């Protein structure tokens, strides 16, 4: 069966942040890569993961997380670009660590490849025109 990838944001209630919940995703034949994590004992925690597995197993894993009281958000897009504000200056491409933001060498216009995005937020902070915003303000 074909493997797919999903970027998901998880919000943990304070009483769940010290539980080994994410590691249980391996029981659903999922692999995961933690892209970002803000976890402190006694506080609401946020983790952003890239999950890999079949669609069916990803659904089972996300159902498990929700049953554990975790708020799950699937990022079908990771940054919002306001194209009308973009000056195509390229500043964001120089801070993007993954090559998700590049300049088209023919048109000199900015291009975005969501599959490569690591949700690091560097581009949001680097843009002088405020033409990029995080998909979800809780993640950057």
DSSP 98: S
Question: C-beta of 139: minimal distance to ligand SF4 in Å?
Answer: 9
Task: Provide the binding-site residues for ligand SF4, judged by CB under 6 A.
Answer: 78-79, 86-92, 95-98, 100-101, 110, 117-123, 126-127, 129, 131-132
**From CA 113, how far away is CA 7, in angstroms rounded?**
14
Question: C-beta of 103: minimal distance to ligand SF4 in Å?
Answer: 8
65 vs 123 by CB, closer to ligand SF4: 123
17 vs 78 by CB, closer to ligand SF4: 78
φ, ψ at 51 (rounded to 5°)? -100, 140
Question: C-beta of 5: minimal distance to ligand SF4 in Å?
Answer: 14
**From CA 16, how far away is CA 121, in angstroms rounded?**
26
**From CA 12, how far away is CA 21, in angstroms rounded?**
10
């Amino acid at each position: 069966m074909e493997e797919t990838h999903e970027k998901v944001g998880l919000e943990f209630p304070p009483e769940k942040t010290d539980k080994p919940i994410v590691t249980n995703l391996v029981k659903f034949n999922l692999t995961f890569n933690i892209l970002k994590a803000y976890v402190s004992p006694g506080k609401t925690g946020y983790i952003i993961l890239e999950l890999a597995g079949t669609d069916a197993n990803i659904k089972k894993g996300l159902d498990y997380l929700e049953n554990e009281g975790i708020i799950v958000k699937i990022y079908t897009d990771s940054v919002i670009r306001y194209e009308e504000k973009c000056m195509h200056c390229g500043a964001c491409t120089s801070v993007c660590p993954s090559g998700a933001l590049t300049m088209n060498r023919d048109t000199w216009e900015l291009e975005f490849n969501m599959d490569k995005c690591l949700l690091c937020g560097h581009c949001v902070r680097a843009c002088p025109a405020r033409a990029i915003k995080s998909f979800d303000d809780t993640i950057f």
